[in-house]
Amino acid sequence: MTTVPVSLRPRNDNDSPKDECGVMGISTPHGEGVAELTFFGLFALQHRGQEAAGIAVSDGQRARLHKDAGLVANVFTPEAMAPLTGYHSIGHTRYSTTGSNAQRNIQPFLVETMHGPLAVAHNGNIVNAATLREELLNRGFGLTATSDTEVIALMLAAAGGRTWQERVERTLPAWKGAFSLVILAADEVIAVRDPWGFRPLSLGRLPHGGHAVASETCALATLGCTDIDEVQPGEVVTLRGAEVHRHQALAPATQSARCTFEFVYFSRPDSVWHGNNVHHVRQRLGMELARQSFVEADVVIPVPDSSIPAAIGYSNESGIPHNDGLIKNRYIGRTFIEPTQAMRERGVALKFNALTENLTGKRVVMIDDSLVRGTTAGPLVKLVRDAGATEVHVRITCPPITHACHFGVDMGHDGDLMAGHKTVEEIRSHIGADSLAFLSLDGMMRAVGASDGYCNACFTGEYPIPVDEAQAKLSFEGAIA
């Protein structure tokens, strides 16, 4: 494995919230191609994190691990995959939310315990990680990373109990926050979801025997899984070859807190969560926008890619034709080559080009999924104007983001959020749009098809659990350079 120098790490200048993580777990009775299945599952979850990827495999006695910085297809070469043989496997594709993107924080974490090998991969964020980390240090544990996932792994390793299920059940109540976990032991894979249900996690039956769990149903569909079902909040699911055992270890929270942003931005359009197809929800977001903030225009364009369904919905509801106005270079955000100063000054042009033929002389409605720091919206408006648009009306498929997320989404701090310190009119002026409108909270929830059961703290500041102990992303970096 090679460490990626800081100067060569991918740049991500997108104004949208940064992707989270994707987890995958597989157990089969025959052990044929389990690592390959995990690879393809992670490939389907690549949109959830592009910093690093890892796979851990167990043959019933011994666990092997390969992980490195980079995209899934680059990390797992045939040479890297060859030693990963066994019956049980977990995988992870990462965007860091607690701890930096340093090599030491790449998941899964694999440790040797008195009960055998243990590997853990995690999507989410534990808000009381600092307290739990301090307790481990006071008990004499040495920590090698700055991630809350290492804290989870060491707590499990030190827990009492005859089985890993018992150790999980004893440790679960200590974790406060968002966690969808996959855990690899010598002869099984265990999936765990927090009692609030912040992050998605689904279970499916593999076509040739065994079972799989994944952050999104799109990964299970890629593997040909059937009988797909959501892992319930507070549930522990054990995969052991052809067997699957489900146990409600913790009662679900009185008020569930699924992340609305899974529908707005994170999840792949073909995924299904809580009974809703993501693409259809995004279309309804656009329809609600058209009902709430119609404007006379000639064309509706999306900011690709997550806003495409919403632009279709806005067009269908408003009667304004839909067309492509911006073409996205899907690789520039992952390049390992720093642009020249001249190209940096062109900013958004590195990532988007305008289709002049579709914009010249047109009044344009530009649909985007969110506006976070406000660094991209202004250059995009200018790009569309420079392509000949006579008016640019910006419509956002969610309410203004005014508060930071503490449950696994890197939006920055409250002070980084443009809507946290500017009015809508001030934002409109700042980005240079002719008009700007955000979808209301009620409109967003109508599109989701629920009045409650979702976390909307980034819009309202009303967190479903106390976040007093929440730490900044890099708060554990001081001790380990």
Supply the pLDDT for residue 100: 47
Q: Letter for the amino acid at 444?
A: M
Average pLDDT, 10 consecutive residues per value, the chain (481 residues): 31 52 96 94 94 96 95 96 97 70 86 96 94 94 88 95 97 96 97 97 96 98 98 98 97 96 94 96 98 98 95 98 93 61 71 96 97 91 97 98 90 84 97 98 97 96 86 50 52
Distance, in Å, from the CA atom of 17 to the CA atom of 371, rounded to the nearest integer, reads 9
Supply the pLDDT for residue 343: 67
| Structure-block tokens of residue 433 | 């749009």
Q: Which burial class, exposed, middle or buried, applies to 8 when counting CB atoms under 10 A from its CB (0-12, 13-18, 19+)?
A: exposed
Check whether domain 276-457 has CATH 3.40.50.2020, yes or no: yes
DSSP state, residue 18 = B
| Structure-block tokens of residue 391 | 């008016």
pTM of the entire structure? Answer: 0.90
Distance, in Å, from the CA atom of 477 to the CA atom of 406, rounded to the nearest integer, reads 18
Supply the pLDDT for residue 339: 64
Superfamily of the domain at 6-257: Aminohydrolase, N-terminal nucleophile (Ntn) domain (3.60.20.10)
Supply the pLDDT for residue 410: 77
Phi-psi region of 111 (alpha: psi -120 to 50; beta: other; left: phi over 0): beta
CA angle 178/180/285 to nearest 5° reads 75
Supply the pLDDT for residue 480: 54
Supply the pLDDT for residue 334: 52
Domain ranges across the chain: 6-257, 276-457
* Cβ atoms within 10 Å of 396's Cβ, excluding its own: 28
> Is residue 66 a contact partner of residue 55, using CB atoms and an 8 Å limit?
yes
- Cα–chain-centroid distance for residue 31? 29
> Is residue 81 a contact partner of residue 110, using CB atoms and an 8 Å limit?
no
| Structure-block tokens of residue 55 | 């796979």
Strands 435-438 and 177-185: unpaired
- Residues identified as active-site: 21
First-last CA distance in the chain: 19
Distance, in Å, from the CA atom of 287 to the CA atom of 76, rounded to the nearest integer, reads 41
For the chain, how big is the Rg over CA atoms in Å? 22
> Is residue 164 a contact partner of residue 156, using CB atoms and an 8 Å limit?
yes
Tokens 């590195």 -> residue: 350
Query: Which of 68, 64, 74 shows the shortest CA–CA distance to 54?
Result: 68
